[in-house]
Chains A and B, each alone.
Chain A
Amino acid sequence: MSEESFTDPGWLSEEVKTGTTIIAVTFDGGVVLGSDSRVSAGESVVNRVMNKLSPLHDKIYCALSGSAADAQTIAEIVNYQLDVHSIEVEDDPLVCSAATLVKNISYKYKEELSAHLIVAGWDRKKGGQVYATLNGLLSRQPFAIGGSGSFYIHGFVDAEYRKNMTKRECQEFVVNALTLAMGRDGSSGGVAYVVTIDQDGAEEKCVLGNELPKFFDQ
Chain B
Amino acid sequence: MAAALQYPANVSSFNSYNDLFPDWTQKEVSTGTTIMAVEFDGGVVMGADSRTTTGAYIANRVTDKLTPIHDRIFCCRSGSAADTQAIADAVTYQLGFHSIELDEAPLVQTAASLFRDMCYRYREELMAGIIVAGWDKRRGGQVYTVPVGGMMSRQPVSVGGSGSSYIYGYVDSNYKAEMSKEECLKFTAGALALAMERDGSSGGVVRLAVITEQGVERQVILGNQLPQFSTV
Contact = CB atoms under 8 A, between A and B. Distances in A.
Contacts of B1: 19, 40, 43, 185-187
A176 B173 contact: yes
B191 A155 contact: yes
B4 A158 contact: no
B3 A152 contact: no
A151 B166 contact: yes
Contact of A155 (B169, B176, B177): B169
B172 A158 contact: no
Contact of B4 (A17, A177, A216): A17
Nearest to B3: A17
A66 B6 contact: yes
A159 B2 CA distance: 30
Interface in B81-121: none
A40 B4 CA distance: 8
A14 interface: yes
A198 B11 CA distance: 32
Interface string B165-202: 11111111111110000000000001100110110000
Contacts of B170: 153, 155-156, 158-159
Given A19-B3, A142-B231, A156-B173, A135 B166 contact: no
Task: Label chain A's interface by main secondary structure.
Answer: mixed
A140 interface: no
A136 B12 CA distance: 9
A114 interface: yes
A123 B138 CA distance: 63
A161 interface: yes
Contact of B7 (A134, A155, A158): A134
A76 interface: no
A216 B169 contact: no
A137 B12 contact: yes
B4 to A, nearest CB: 2
Q: Which of A14, A40, A153, A187 has the most CB of B within 10 A?
A: A153
B5 A158 contact: no
Given A134-B11, A135-B9, A161 B165 contact: no
A197 interface: no
Interface in A129-175: 134-137, 142-143, 146-148, 151-161, 163
Interface of B: 1-7, 9, 11-12, 165-177, 190-191, 194-195, 197-198, 229, 231
Interchain residue pairs A-B with the least CB separation, the first 8: A19-B4, A186-B1, A156-B169, A153-B169, A155-B167, A155-B170, A155-B194, A180-B169
